[in-house]
Amino acid sequence: MSSLVRPLRIILLGAPGAGKGTQTTRLLKRFPKVQSLSTGDVLRSQIAAGTRIGKEASDHIKQGALIPDTTMVGLVMSQLEQLKWLDPKASWLLDGFPRTYKQAIALDHSLDQNDCRLNMVVELDVDQKVILDRIEARWVHVPSGRVYNIDYNPPKVPFKDDITGEPLTKRSDDTAEVFQRRLDQYNKEIEPIKKFYSNKGVLYKVSGDTSDIIYPKLEALVLEKFG
């Protein structure tokens, strides 16, 4: 099993429900040296812990709106330092950030200063009609961020996390109405972000309607460039 020959600094872009979390889990299993951070998971644990950021985030999330850029940029920058991701030798994957052009610029600036530029940005391209059809079947294990789909990717024991056996829950923002708003929001913000990364020559796209179709393409892409 080949591993990575140079550090991987990768971002997954994709509509809500496109399967960023699922692809992350699989990539990390295949490439254990890579660390990951999901801003959605970070925010959900801050909410669960009742922190100041959690309190600020909770209303925005419930309404399917984005958390303000200054809060998000501050949060991610401090995580990058804590996790030691600004070391050029580190390999990591960021899921859920950047979500706006401003966030992309802020991230780029900080990585540039530390000589650890992004070297791969992958758009997970899934038909949004397919996403809408399957979203109400999504259940999550909040502490780990593990994601299940009752129809396509069910847990071994119904409504229990495979690893810990703890109960799965529904995200309050996975209802049809809030979800449509999140999709609209994504479609509104994504074009300038894609343009920014495509100008830098790091943007790739993998298409497919299920995570099982997307994953082998994503793994092959990573191995082609970094294996």
Binding residues for GTP: 17-22, 138, 147-148, 211
Residue burial 22-47, b: 16+ Cβ < 10 Å; e: rest? bbbbbbeeebeebebbbbbbbbbebb
> What stretch of H or E contains 204?
strand 203-207
Binding residue for ligand ATP, selected from 97, 139, 204, 215, defined by CB under 6 A: 97
What sign for the dihedral angle of Cα 44, 186, 31, 6? negative
Footprint of Mg ion on residues 1-20 (CB under 5 A)?
20
**Do 203 and 173 touch, CB atoms closer than 8 A?**
no
Residues within window 16-55 making contact with Mg ion, judged by CB under 5 A: 20-21, 40
Q: Which residue, 60 or 225, is less far from ligand ATP as judged by CB?
A: 60
Instruction: Choose between 192 and 227: whose C-beta lies nearer to ligand ATP.
Output: 192
Query: How far is Cα 52 from Cα 105, in angstroms, rounded to an integer?
Result: 25
Residue 64 or 155 having the CB closest to ligand ATP: 64
Q: Does 64 bind Mg ion (CB under 5 A)?
A: no
Residue 13: how many other CB atoms lie within 10 Å? 24
Q: Strands 203-207, 120-125: parallel, antiparallel or unpaired by DSSP? A: parallel
Site string for ligand ATP, 27-66 (x = CB under 6 A): ------------xx--x----------------xx--xxx
Residues interacting with Mg ion, by CB under 5 A? 20-21, 40
Interface residues with ligand ATP (CB under 6 A)? 16-17, 20-21, 39-40, 43, 60-61, 64-67, 72, 96-97, 99, 103, 173, 182
